[in-house]
Chains A and B, each alone.
Chain A
Amino acid sequence: MHKLNDHELVSRAKSGDDSAFNELMRRHYKGVLNYIYRFTNGSNTTEDLTQEVFYRVYKSLDRYRPEAQFTTWLYKIATNLCISDFKKNSKYFSLDEIAENTGEMEDDSFFEADDNIYRKQIKKSIDDALKKLTDKERIAITLCKYQGFSYNEVAEVMDCSVGAVKTHIYRGRMKLVEMLGFLVDDK
C-alpha cells in the first residue's frame, strides 16, 4: 500500500477515520511543537498550544481547502494561535525557566566535559539571539530554516508578500550574524 499524502489523510480524517488524523499528528506534531517553542521563546505552554493547534485543525477539517498545502494551513493556525496567546499573556517564560521546571533542556550533572559546556553555551546563545529578533523575522527564519518552507509558503503563512518575507529573512540573518558571529570567529 502506498504512503498516503497529507491531502489523502485529511480527506480520510474528514470522513471519520481517526487513524488518518493520528498519522497527520505523527508527521507534523514535533515540527509544530518546535516551531511554537521557538516562536514563544521557549514558553512552558508549548505543549498545550501544540495540542490546541491540532484540536483546531481537527475541528476545522471541513474548512480545509485542498488547493492549499496542509502544512501551510497547519502553520498558519499555529502562528495565529501563538499571536493571540501572546496578546492574552503579554509575556512568555524564558528558556531558563522551562529548563528549571522540566529539567528537559539541561543535564543535571555538575561535572561536565568542556565540549558539553561549549555546546550548551552555543545552544543558549542561539536561543537568546532568536529571542531578540522581531516576531516577523523569527517566524520567517524559523519556517525557512527549521521547517524547510519556501518563500511562497512562508508568505502564505504570514499573510504578506514574498518580498516582505525576503526582507524579514535578510534583516534577521544580519542580526543573527551580529549576535552570534563571535562564536564562530572564536573557533
Chain B
Amino acid sequence: MINNKEMSNKKKLEKELVVKYLSGDVDFGEKKSIESDIADNPEMKKYLDTSVAVWDMLDSADQIEPNPNYISIFWNSVKEDEKNPGILEKIKTFNTKWVFITSFATLLLVSSLLINVFVMQHNDINNNLVFNTEDEIIFNNLDKSLTKKTAAYLDVFGPWEE
C-alpha cells in the first residue's frame, strides 16, 4: 500500500522526469523509458502537454522597446563623464612617468622619516643603559648588603660568597 507521502514523491519525480525530458537532457535509454511511462500514465501525459504549452506561452511575455534615442543618450553620457571624470578616471589619465616619480619621492620621504625615528629611539635606549663608576659602586654595595643580610636565614642554600 503506498501512503500519501510516497505518492506525492512519486508524482514529483514524474514531473521532474517530464521537465528533464522536455529540456532534452536525457539519454536514449531514459528517453524510451519516459516515453513509455507517458503513454501508460494519463497524468504524466497531461503534465507534459501543460509544460509544453506553458513554455510556449512564455513567448508572449511582454517585450519592451528601447528609447529610440538610446545611442545618442549613451554617447552624451560618455561625453559628460569625460568632462567630469571621477578620481579613478583622473588617476588613469596621469602620465606614467609622473606617477612613477611621485611614488618614488613619496617612498623616499617615508623611508627617511622611518629611519630617522628608528635612529632616535635607538640612541635613547643606549643613553639609558650607560652606567658610570659611581653607579657601579652603588650596585655592588647594594648587592653585598642584601647578600649578608639574608645569608643567615638562607644558609641552607649556601655557601655564600662574601
**Chain A residues near B (Cβ < 8 Å):** 18, 22, 25-26, 29-30, 33-34, 37-38, 42, 46-47, 50-51, 54-55, 58, 95, 104-105, 119, 122-123, 126-127, 130, 145-146, 166, 169-170, 173-174, 176-177, 180-181, 183-185, 187
Contact = CB atoms under 8 A, between A and B. Distances in A.
From DSSP, what is the main secondary structure of chain B's interface residues? helix
A86 B134 CA distance: 77
Nearest to B81: A55
B60 A123 contact: yes
A173 B61 contact: no
12 contacts: A22-B71, A29-B70, A34-B63, A34-B64, A47-B67, A51-B74, A104-B64, A126-B61, A173-B51, A177-B51, A184-B53, A184-B57
Interface of A is mostly: helix
Contacts of B65: 30, 104
Given A104-B64, A126-B61, A173 B75 contact: no
Given A173-B51, A174-B19, A180-B57, A55 B66 contact: no
A126 B20 contact: no
Interface in B45-62: 47, 50-51, 53-55, 57-58, 60-62
B62 A47 contact: no
A55 B22 CA distance: 38
B54 A177 contact: yes
A105 B62 contact: yes
B110 interface: no
User: Among the interface residues B60, B64, B70, B74, which one has the most CB atoms of the partner chain A within 10 A?
Assistant: B64
B60 A119 contact: yes
A136 to B, nearest CB: 16
Contacts of A181: 50, 54
A166 B20 CA distance: 9
Given A126-B57, A126-B58, A51 B64 contact: no
